[in-house]
A and B are shown apart, each in its own frame.
Chain A
Amino acid sequence: MILNTLSMTMIFIGALSVLLAMWGGISSFALYKKWRKPLTPEEKTSLEDRSYLVLLIMVVVLMIRLINWPLFYGTLQSFISDIEGAMCIFGVTQVKPGLTRFLEFLKPLNFFLIGGWLILHVLDRATKTSPLMRRKLFLLSIISLLVLIDSLGDIFLILGIAPESLVSCCTTVTDISNRPTRTMPLSIFGPEYIYSLQVLFFTTHIALIGFVGLSLTFGKTFLRQRLILGLLILFSFLNAILFLLSQIEIFAPAMMHLPFHHCLYCLWQYVPDSIAMYLLFIMGTFSVGWGFTTELFGRVGEAVDLLPNYLKKIYSFAFFSLSASLILLILHLMVD
């Protein structure tokens, strides 16, 4: 184990999350089952009190888990100097490649689910009768399970990364000519794939901003159409894939001034403000998804009246974040 402030924080947060996620997950599932049964007013009050306590504690845990995603990369970054052969986060990920890759997939999923759940919680809190309580408790029990897996993964990873491990770094993996991020667009667009990919990314990104803007302009009636919001989330997913491909193949090398190097971890290291661009992009893309999940789960009882206003806020945030990330990218490319 490599001991530093960040690794200690990760272990501490991980251990705390394991305990509270287990307790929170079991409690919320038990409460979810009880919530359905007919109860006396005293029992109902007791159940509500218990539910609010569980929710209060779990909200704090989930907020910490939101921070855990960037903290995870911060911790891996802090290990670089202790791993032989690592020059960026990629090298550190090679010490425990399987577990690290698993966590790298799980963390964004958890971030999305937690964010979506917190929005539902805020929506429910704005009502007087808590119509979303049962759904919230059920979803919380699922999220708790994922948080538990994530936290255990964090602990095992941090404990398992031995100092002075010997690894190869990104250059010998991300820059080989048969990397999938090159061969896939090459097979679709041909040798001029760089130009096509660039045009396609800008088109889809601007179109996504446009669609989100349209949904805001058309207001309540548009936002209530679940199918349209579902299509929007699919489109934002497609845009995210194109963003990733074009970043690896085109924009990251350009921003780093290293035309043949395609490592995104190196980009974050050499051009730190690109992290802000990524953060805005992630928040924008996830907000589109959060809009959909809020519509999907939040359409119950009293919450129905509040929903359009909440959706408008979520999609406004998506609009701002996606626009800001695009502007940052364009300005970077122009200045560089």
Chain B
Amino acid sequence: MKLKKGWVFFSAIIMIILAFGCKKSDTPGRCDYDGAKIEPTYTVYFTLQDGTERKFCSIICASMSFRELKRQIIEVMVVDEVSEKKINASQAFFVESEVITTLHVRNRIHVFSNREDAERHLKRFYGRWVENPFRQSVE
């Protein structure tokens, strides 16, 4: 009798937890690397061979994912900080400066579609040119 009670209690716990917990959690507007909230200005988009899209909160998260997904990626899109328009990563200018864009990963790499904007940022915030972190996907 005692054992039966135990099993009823046990099953009840499992059922309650499952009822509340086991549902597919979609996280729109969240980074596909670490689940952090995405700021549209600093988003990086990967288009994969199967047609799906992955989005990331920063260049750091995107480049960490890039290492793992390299073979599946067909296109990398980044956002120009000034106009907030999506551009292909191969056409963008990347500057590393003192300004942090995404605090939790301390991302200091900035994206510009226009060379003058990039140079202005570089001079103002003691930056330096950096290579396209997603260069291999273009090759």
Contacts and interface: CB of A to CB of B under 8 A. Distances in A.
Q: Is the A/B pair a real complex?
A: yes
B90 interface: no
B104 A320 contact: no
A270 B37 CA distance: 12
Given A171-B61, A257-B25, A270 B35 contact: yes
A168 B35 CA distance: 15
Contacts of A271: 21, 25
B24 A276 contact: no
Contacts of B103: 84-85, 166
A133 interface: no
Contacts of B21: 271-274, 276, 328, 332
Interface residues on B, range: 20 to 34
A274 B35 CA distance: 16
A323 interface: yes
B34 A257 contact: no
A172 B106 contact: yes
Interface stretch (A53-61, A111-119, A147-155, A260-268): A260-268
A271 B13 CA distance: 17
B98 to A, nearest CB: 13
A227 interface: no
B24 A256 contact: no
Interface in A249-295: 256-261, 263, 266, 269-274, 276-277, 280
A233 B20 CA distance: 32
A273 B17 contact: yes
A86 interface: yes
B46 to A, nearest CB: 13
Contacts of B13: 276, 280, 324
Interface residues of A, number: 39
A261 B17 contact: no
B68 A260 contact: yes
B68 A327 contact: no
Contact of B33 (A260, A273, A331): A260
Interface in B74-129: 103-106
Nearest to A256: B35
Contacts of A170: 34, 104
A85 B106 contact: yes
B6 interface: yes
A78 to B, nearest CB: 17
A204 interface: no
B1 interface: no
Contacts of B61: 171
A171 B34 contact: yes
Nearest to A174: B34
A335 B23 CA distance: 7
29 contacts: A84-B103, A85-B104, A86-B104, A87-B36, A87-B104, A168-B104, A169-B34, A169-B36, A170-B104, A171-B61, A171-B64, A171-B104, A175-B64, A257-B25, A258-B32, A258-B33, A258-B34, A266-B35, A270-B35, A271-B25, A272-B21, A273-B18, A273-B20, A273-B21, A320-B9, A324-B10, A324-B13, A331-B22, A332-B22
Given A171-B64, A263-B34, A269-B35, 20 more contacts: A85-B104, A85-B106, A87-B104, A166-B103, A168-B104, A171-B34, A171-B36, A172-B105, A256-B35, A258-B32, A271-B21, A274-B21, A276-B13, A277-B17, A320-B9, A328-B14, A331-B18, A331-B22, A332-B21, A335-B24
Interface of A: 84-87, 91, 166, 168-172, 175, 256-261, 263, 266, 269-274, 276-277, 280, 316, 320, 323-324, 327-328, 331-332, 335-336
5 shortest A-B CB distances, which residue pairs?
Answer: A273-B21, A169-B104, A85-B103, A87-B104, A171-B34
